[in-house]
Structure 1
């Protein structure tokens, strides 16, 4: 059943129409009933009501929160069988393959279109697509090459089978199947097959100490030019270098290919225009399109806003332990992109959030995350300055696609990692800066930040509630917030030094200073505007970043109300 209407405002015509269709279709599915259980937030599927009464309850009270997020089994929605869900996984991947050339939506057909006027790479791609459609073996009617590959690969991912065991399974299947089968003989061959259709990633070697990526001018080096550590892995027993096996690898999933695939789907190409005609008119923010930042971006760059297909993106990252590990000694950082062009019911779905970088562990990148963000930032700069040529399946035309990164979304420690601003100590507030109202608690041995009532309107009653806070009355107003352009100018003199050995050396030298000397040094640094910054963020390499009104956001989970 369609559930998109339950997230709409209850005073809208679309919500009322969706509720009516839901009630009528449920009654028909259950046997043309005149009464059935009401799923509103008061009845909660415990009392029977007439159909008209149920619609009235849904409009006035809304759907029960627990019921609207689950399966509507009480009203006839059936659970798919395990076999159907497996088949769906296997066919969805091939549907993505087909949408690249819009085979199922009126686009060019790889089996009938004239290949004389096409580029060689497109001809080769279509040959691979035809190969993917071949039966698994000559008399096989149930599985094609692509369905067998996706079924086996799904089995590997879900069961956690190692590459070695999976290769042994493929060898066994080769002996069991007829000789003319087209199943790849190894996991490496399967990955190569998937990469043809744009589902692979770029492996970029990285310095073990997070100093550099071995790309561009460093591509052919054997060791890091900063810390002198070898590029290659070292055997733990013999201490010999394993030449050809990198010590650290960054996985980058190119965003340009992903954007091209999105517009090859006619339905997705239409959804990517949603924001252009669906801004609210009642002043309520239900989507980023209703925000002041979105309007200011449109006013600042009208040529970008003129084409509704241009993408507005958000970036998010945090550390995690892969493979359900409970140890805190490992931290892998995925970097995700969110596409805000689509409706609110789509933009936050898992399948529409793009994994762009997988930063390896075992240690968190910390201040050195800019080293790993470089490939993504380079593509974002190209997408802003020049754009890429993309085929729009909805409009049946080629156009120049551009993209803009609106902001980042993270928890507070990750905000310091991305922005380069200190989020601990006396100047922990990235808004107040050196005017942060910090107070040191001697016996708790930590800073607290109490004097924030000055941001309330003058005369607000909370300003005078001494007993509720720190037994003081707060007068005056908060200081003006620095703009992105002002921060950019301040950081022009900042020199970035990336790499863990360099950070350890700086920390060691500071610890060697006597207490009095260290105190004097800290006082001098606090008077310096650069003291609260750890680096000049790589986001400032984006030409528009310093002009954005909001650059960093704290995610909802970490906001206290």
Structure 2
């Protein structure tokens, strides 16, 4: 009965415990699976192997009308009556998918197949930006709700592997180096751009020889895809940078040293030059405390003055864009963990008096003496030597 209703003269859906009617196998392979693995205990009505079911909902001939089935046909076969794959290297994959398109979502389901369910769920993920981890949890929940023996892929990676086989390919179209036009349709055989007269083809820098067939504008690098046995143009986009504060200054163009080194305070940065340490010190941090904080009135603990100034106004996004217009095209983000590590390292180095890491050194004490604050930390002068 199985051979008579297989449809494919060479392969049949394997009902063993491992394959669970999801994969097509040769008859001898299926026979070995059944001997070694045993029959799937949930498969009691052999609807995939010719046995009639009371549920007329399993009429698989209706599956051909589904969009996913037509998508598969268009992707892998020359026409609907052909059974020859376009790419011989992927013949086995195409054959399995061609037959696998007709597998229902679960026993008794007529509205969805395994492929159509996969497409619908993955479209939901892409539309609402669901993360891979969140999508995996959603699949687990749906899997738990469905009857045993359903064909839902168990992870996001499994869905990606399944959909990757439906790659429809692409056509390379050359573009003008100045983005004036695309060399296609009536312009396909043009050697120069009709608007700016730029050459379509690359020119050798030394010999000035025109290299026909090599486009002048080529964004990306040629990469070989071992799965499709072809090359494609790989492109990358740098969207933002994450770095510590010194690197932020190097990359963004905003000075991280000097009198206006604070990107938040800007021109309102409180900077004081330390004569002996030969660097700027920034001591206006009390302005960011609550207005009734007791530190505002402490003089000796800080720079010898009471603090009455409010915190500086935070720039709006529009103000930031106006200040960096035409100079900064890339977003820069601060690596807070890296910055905290550096601050913590300086504090611990000072507390433990680690050589080369401590900020409590002679020049620092002389700066306190010069500023007239923290007398308990002033260096002692003995025989003209501190």
| TM-score, scaled relative to structure 1 | 0.23
Higher relative CO (CA 8 A, sep ≥ 6), structure 1 or 2? 1
Q: Is the helix fraction higher in 1 or 2?
A: 1
- Give 1 or 2 for the bigger CA radius of gyration: 2
